[in-house]
Amino acid sequence: MGLEKINISILFKTVSELTAFSQASREVDFYYFFEAHKILKTFTTKDWGDLKLDLSNWNDKQLDVLVQALDKGDGDYNVVEDNFFIGYIFNLSGDTLASQILDQMLYSFFDENEIDSMDLLDSIENRIKQLYTSNFLKDKKVFAFWMNKIEETKEKRAGDNE
């Protein structure tokens, strides 16, 4: 990685170390995610763009640490503002991690963000359909809830653009 991607390199190294620590100790607490959160708070718009491109090289354990850092923030409910990486990570994750994100984080992601990317909405919708088809999402009512939530978000976005 060149100098232009130094923050991505630092974040990847930190997340990898945190992943190894969690596997060795089986302990996870707030401080575990705070180190990654501190790095994310220094990111520029370019860093976020670089990270989006780099995420496909991360494994599910690393993505899990990153999504937890994004979701938990600094412990005082101060999360990284204006990012859509929970949605991106949801789409890149394997079925088990994606199911956890769906169960634990995706609702607040939708609730707290004005999602204006139709591509992101479409990919989240397709990922939920994949989870349903592969039986990682078994509850028909939960599936219907998410399909309605995405449709409402799309309609709201379309209405805002008129």
Per residue in 51-79, pLDDT (tens digit) is 989 999 999 989 988 888 888 766 666 66
Q: What is the pLDDT of residues 41-53, one digit of tens each?
A: 888 888 988 998 9
pTM for this predicted structure: 0.82
Give the residue among 73, 82, 86, 145 at the shortest CA–CA distance from 114.
Answer: 82
Residue 113 to residue 90: CA distance in whole angstroms = 15
Can you give the C-alpha Rg of the chain in angstroms?
Answer: 16
Q: Is the pLDDT of residue 2 over 50?
A: no
The pLDDT, as a whole number, for residue 79 is 67
The pLDDT, as a whole number, for residue 42 is 87
Q: What is the pLDDT of residues 17-37, one digit of tens each?
A: 877 755 544 555 556 677 788
Find the farthest-apart pair of alpha carbons in the chain and give their distance in angstroms, rounded. Answer: 53
CB-count burial class (<10 Å; 0-12, 13-18, 19+) for 57: exposed
The pLDDT, as a whole number, for residue 141 is 95
